[in-house]
Amino acid sequence: MAREKFQTLTEQMFYILLSLREELCGADVMARVAELTDGRVIIGPGTLYNLLESFLNAEMIAETAAEGRRRSYRITAAGERALLAEADRMETLLADYRRLGTGGERV
């Protein structure tokens, strides 16, 4: 059975939505994600703009400003719900790991 779109978020999706809790343009989103993750997650322009379009279509973000080709975005209530659901899902995974994995000790 196929997953419903955005039922779970990729790492890039998660950080884009997290970044858009403040109004940002695409270039600023890429920089913010790199900053938030200490460079661990890098999002290229192709990936970013494809995801922004998908998020817009799903009404998870809204365009807030447009100056020429520069567009700014901000997360919507639907995007916040998806972000929260993903955070809850990750917390459940971590709790399962701690309960069943190594007992919480790092190997």
Whether residue 1 is predicted with pLDDT greater than 50 in this model: the reply is no
pLDDT on residue 7: 78
DSSP annotation of 78 reads H
DSSP annotation of 62 reads E
Confidence of residue 16 (pLDDT cuts 50, 70, 90): very high
Average pLDDT over the chain, rounded to whole? 91
Rounded Cα–Cα distance for residues 60 and 13 (Å): 11
Do 37 and 15 contact (CB within 8 A), yes or no? yes
pLDDT on residue 3: 43
| Span 9-35, average pLDDT | 97
Residues sharing a CB contact under 8 Å with residue 31, sequence separation 6 or more, in sequence order: none
pLDDT digits (tens, 9 = 90+) for 54-77: 999 999 999 999 999 899 999 999
Rounded Cα–Cα distance for residues 24 and 91 (Å): 27
